[in-house]
Structure 1
């Protein structure tokens, strides 16, 4: 750790190692020019303590020990063949160069990744092929191609405030949004319904995975 509290991993390739990013007082900076292969990364820091600058993660496992909230910087990373475990909310993955003009945000990607052991809430997958990804099962659910399917979804009768707050605004998602994953119990609690009522509508659509 330097005098600013930064722990920097850059200009190297790391293979078959376990990296624990768990010091709450440290700022972890991964990249640029960093490749990690077959590594396990244990994350137990807040979003503001984690900075990704175009790292490449290949066949890595992420163990998220503290819920990672509102973290868009995954779009500054390339993930291939990775597994993600733990709780993430408001996170974005994939290719979204419009998010910011910073150079390391111009090359993000995601493919062949497994989120089946993660709990995702309000997480988006940008400009990628969702068919290469494994999404978490119920009580999470994933809307595929949400912008294009928005008119169809809007015609349904949704319980509570789900229609007004979520479905009616799908067309306003960033154009590169290929999939959106929500957590039914969290959504139900916020929007005056129950997971069971929500599932009864979700089951009618082949564009929603659960």
Structure 2
């Protein structure tokens, strides 16, 4: 493994290219800093830390596999990474991927991109995909489901009766999403419980749309 530990105890991967290696980011006492000027090709990254212990800045991931062993929550720094041909496994909640130009003015926030990535073995909930072509992505199947073009189709989605409070809590919010939002993925059991409905009732409505992947 190619890494360096700085005087503060941070584990730093930067200013290099790493290929065909497995990176174990699992030490809960460490802060893992990836980037800047880092390229990872055909690597496996095992993640078992919270968002507080993981920093991604200006990294190119090419044909990499992410094995998320601990649910990664509210992680926006994927938008500081270029992801091409990567695979995700495990649970991700409230994460953002792709190019979100309005997130910040720093150059690192303009670096993000995502294409040809596979989330079919992941469980996503409340995850957004920005500034990308969703047709190049493989989204997880039911009980996950993905709204395509949620902003452009917000009127269509809002004109449909949704069970429980799903319409008021989730669908009404589509028009207020960042303009760069191209897709939104949710996990039916969690959202059904939050919105006082059932996965089966949600699926009955979802099946009516050809712009929802499930």
TM-score, normalised on structure 1? 0.99
Stretch deviating more after TM superposition (24-33 or 136-145): 24-33
Q: Deviations over 1:97-144 (max 9, x none)?
A: 211222211110000000000000000000000000000000000000
Query: Alpha carbon RMSD of aligned pairs, Å?
Result: 0.7
Q: Deviations over 1:177-201 (max 9, x none)?
A: 0000000000001110000000000
Give the equivalent residue in structure 1 for 2:142. 138
Give the equivalent residue in structure 1 for 2:195. 191
Give the equivalent residue in structure 1 for 2:65. 61
User: SS in structure 1 opposite 2:90?
Assistant: strand
Question: Do structure 1's residue 153 and structure 2's residue 157 form an aligned pair?
Answer: yes
- Pick one of 175, 181, 184 that aligns with 2:185: 181
User: SS in structure 2 opposite 1:104?
Assistant: helix
Question: Do structure 1's residue 82 and structure 2's residue 86 form an aligned pair?
Answer: yes
**Alpha-carbon separation, structure 1, partners of 2:50 and 2:66:** 15
Tell me how many residue pairs correspond in the alignment: 210
Question: Do structure 1's residue 109 and structure 2's residue 106 form an aligned pair?
Answer: no
Question: Do structure 1's residue 41 and structure 2's residue 21 form an aligned pair?
Answer: no
Stretch deviating more after TM superposition (98-107 or 127-136): 98-107
Give the equivalent residue in structure 2 for 1:200. 204
Give the equivalent residue in structure 1 for 2:17. 13
TM-score, normalised on structure 2? 0.97
Question: Do structure 1's residue 52 and structure 2's residue 81 form an aligned pair?
Answer: no
Question: Do structure 1's residue 123 and structure 2's residue 127 form an aligned pair?
Answer: yes
User: SS in structure 1 opposite 2:92?
Assistant: strand
Give the equivalent residue in structure 2 for 1:29. 33
User: SS in structure 2 opposite 1:79?
Assistant: strand
